[in-house]
Amino acid sequence: MKYLKNLFLILILLLIISCDSKPVHGKNGMVVSTSTQASKIGIDILKQGGNAVDAASAVGFALAVTSSSNGNIGGGGFMVGHFADGKTFTLDFREMAPSKAYKDIYLDDNNNVIEGKSLTTHFASGVPGSVDGLLKAWRDHGSGSIPLKQLLEPAINLANNGFKLSKYEANRFNKNKDFLSKHSATKLIFTRNDREWKEGDIFFQKDLAKTLTRIASKGRDGFYKGITAKLIVEEMKKVGGWITYQDLDNYLSKYREPIIGSFNDYNIISMGPPSSGGILIIQMLNMLDLLQTNLNPPLDLDFNSSDYIHLLTEIERRAYADRAEHLGDSDFWDVPKEILLSKSYAEDRIKSIDVSNATNSNDINHGLKMIKESEETTHYSIVDKDGNAVSVTTTINSGYGSGITINGAGFIMNNEMDDFSSKPGVPNLFGLVGNEANAIQPKKRPLSSMSPTIVLKNNKPFLVLGTPGGSTIITTVLQNILNVILHDMNIKEAVSSPRFHSQWLPDVLYYEEGSFSNKLILDLKTKGHDLKQRGNIGEANGIMINEKGFWGGADYRGENTAIGY
């Protein structure tokens, strides 16, 4: 009976994927995001003569209105761009710790972590970076044909005039009503006294519209100075001035050195520290490349075969162990990037892999314990008519961040300070444990798994990838790359196929409900793996580019939309 139930779930999953396995096609541009309104705004910017970066900035501001739990101007993220002329940039607009932050700020007098302080209080917030980052990208890499007012006007209109809630978004508000009711300004915007939200309700955000209007009028100074800055500082004075005028004025998004690697004649461009994603993706691809080249006889690397899952799990364990030990904000920590990205290091790491038996994670060196990050993040991918590609992942950390809305400004603040190590060796509410590489310091940026990535074929953009999913982001992007390159899937199939995840500690192989057959589970258990079923892993939004145009793949796991023209 259990076997039949398992088989039934697998068949249902395959039916869902097969019924909608065709990607969306476009000849002149493609936008894939978690919001229909935001994707349409991006396409409109492209139609008006903007390039992929113009569209990415407009989509970012639109998501702050239409996807309140993760889109934001109160948080931060990363952007990876590659242009048709070969130019590449990676922009870090991750939040920064305020000047009053210090290593033990979340510990009590007995040196114990204060539960919730880094998650649901004013002290949970880092200085937001999204506004600075989106504006810097537009200013430095935009087409020059889209003025700032035109960039923000669609988001302002959605906030001011309201938009119809989808069933998905209404349910999300209702599900989080208790949390959204804890702070008075948040409750006023996101909850109803008369009834629950319903699909089709018009959702207004008048204060957010005013904030976006100030940004449209004054640019960066419309957020980090003036009225908005005053409103942020006044809110933070409730706890003694956690974020100051100087903190806001000092915020700076930064261009980082791209992380670059190769696999099977494809080149990969991704984000460097404080993102851990780029380094781990390249490191894991290096290990897999060596294994598939050197194993004799070769193993079965068919999609989600027992050998394939086993090898990727062993690779992931070793990469995530290195993550916990070596990665942090490179402005504060000497990250050994060259070593971690080298083929010789990958060769050394795979020496301990047994192709038939799982390695006990406690026997793998490096690190303390894995970080379990919140999965409430959002990703969008964009390509314009000239083949310029942009990949953006952004977040306020957990769903609806700290839950604290800046009164009068209409946006929720992040709780990204929880991504630091509150105390080396001791987990916080999300299970975050780290070491000195990710310890709290003023102006430091917390380590992240966000992994916006672009894959090149013949030196031209071929795949634009990324996903939310906390610590599962990296393995999701890895599997999406392999789904296309190794398993010949189209982009819709690649982002919608069943996924699995392992991260060193806990010593567990996670798989999505209904995605593994009983026989596959038994095979993996025989190899020594401890398997646990869970819900969705990631929510990827990708684009594939070939001679026939642009192909958008929106993951079925969430309310995602691909629009091309």
How far apart are the C-alpha atoms of 442 and 496, rounded to whole Å? 40
CA distance readout (Å), 537 to 64, 342, 398, 403, 491: 23, 29, 16, 24, 17
How far apart are the C-alpha atoms of 56 and 304, rounded to whole Å? 34
Q: Radius of gyration (Cα) for the chain, nearest Å?
A: 22
How far apart are the C-alpha atoms of 28 and 86, rounded to whole Å? 19
How far apart are the C-alpha atoms of 79 and 93, rounded to whole Å? 8
Out of 34, 90, 213, 377, pick the active-site residue.
377
Residues near 345 by beta carbon (within 8 Å), at least 6 away in sequence: 283, 286, 339
DSSP codes of every residue in 481-505: HHHHHTT---HHHHHHS--EE--SS
Tell me if residue 393 is catalytic: no
The structure tokens listed for 219 are 């640019």
Residues near 167 by beta carbon (within 8 Å), at least 6 away in sequence: 199
Indicate the pairing of strand 254-256 with strand 88-93.
Answer: antiparallel
Q: What is the three-class DSSP state of 520?
A: helix
Cβ atoms of residues 262 and 346 within 8 Å: no
Residue 506 φ/ψ, nearest 5 degrees? -65, 155
How far apart are the C-alpha atoms of 339 and 351, rounded to whole Å? 16
Strand ranges in 278-398 using DSSP code E only, listed in sequence order:
377-383, 389-395
Which one, of 545, 479, 538, 492, lies nearest residue 512 by Cα?
Answer: 538
Burial of 328 (0-12, 13-18, 19+ CB in 10 A): buried
Task: List residues with catalytic annotation.
Answer: 377
